[in-house]
């Protein structure tokens, strides 16, 4: 028997993080992706054990201001890309500047300095991942996906998809269907 699973990475991380916090009896609140607000001080030994437990899941504590800002930028972008229809049509520079209360130029410079890629390239990579997810899990046409993800045209989405993945969206769907068919035999 095989299962094809649709999942929400943000929800998975939030649940995993909350489970680890509960395991260590840490009184806090997970307010947004990548951010925990402690309600009280915790012993250093408990804090260190908590950090070690997170490492086994590939979760690290971000501890310098530039890295924290980059994480906030990433969270805002992902929130925008995975939000209900409509939010994707916002202008990213305005959205980030307003949400993070910082000039887009500063955000862009810090992001590039820390990650070695531009905010625009990060967005493109994540948009393509979102498109792949939609192609595999939703019953949406390429036109609907293109509109939802705020592409100017299906042709532009297809071009960007092929530049990143090496195949067109239609070819990607066909490959994945064939893979599923072969795996079910």
Which long-range CB contacts under 8 A does 83-92 form with residues at least 24 apart? Answer: 85/148, 88/148, 88/149, 88/150, 89/150, 92/119, 92/123
Position of tokens 């887009």?
104
Position of tokens 């066909």?
174
| pLDDT tens digit sequence for 105-144 | 999 999 999 999 999 999 999 999 999 988 988 888 899 9
What does the pLDDT read at residue 30? 74
The CA-based diameter of the chain, rounded to the nearest angstrom, is: 56
Token pair for 53: 């437990």
Among the listed residues 142, 136, 140, 147, the one whose alpha carbon sits nearest the alpha carbon of residue 158: 142
Q: How many CA atoms lie within 13 A of 134 on its CB side?
A: 24
The Cα–Cα gap between 74 and 67 comes to 10
Q: Do 28 and 39 touch, CB atoms closer than 8 A?
A: yes
Weakest-pLDDT range from 8-12, 42-46, 70-74, 123-127? 8-12
Token pair for 69: 């800002």
The Cα–Cα gap between 178 and 130 comes to 21
| pLDDT tens digit sequence for 4-36 | 777 777 778 888 888 888 898 888 877 766 678
Token pair for 84: 């209900």
Specify which residues 35 forms β-bridges with: 32
Sorted by where each begins, the domain ranges of the chain are 1-61
Weakest-pLDDT range from 3-12, 55-64, 76-85, 133-142? 3-12
């Amino acid at each position: 028997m095989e299962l094809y699973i649709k999942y929400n990475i943000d929800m998975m991380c939030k649940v995993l993080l909350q489970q680890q916090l509960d395991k260590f009896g840490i009184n806090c609140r997970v307010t947004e992706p990548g951010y925990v607000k402690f309600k009280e001080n915790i012993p250093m030994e408990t804090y260190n054990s908590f950090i070690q437990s997170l490492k086994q899941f590939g979760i690290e504590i971000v501890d310098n201001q530039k890295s924290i800002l980059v994480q906030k930028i990433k969270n805002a972008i992902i929130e925008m890309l995975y939000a209900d229809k409509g939010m994707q049509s916002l202008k990213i520079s305005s959205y980030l500047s307003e949400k993070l209360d910082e000039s887009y130029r500063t955000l862009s410079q810090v992001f590039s300095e820390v990650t070695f890629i531009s905010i625009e390239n990060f967005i493109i990579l994540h948009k393509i991942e979102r498109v792949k997810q939609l192609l595999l899990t939703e019953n949406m046409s390429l036109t609907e996906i293109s509109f939802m993800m705020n592409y100017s045209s299906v042709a532009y989405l297809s071009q960007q998809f092929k530049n990143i993945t090496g195949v067109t969206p239609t070819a990607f769907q066909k490959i994945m269907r064939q893979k599923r068919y072969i795996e079910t035999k």
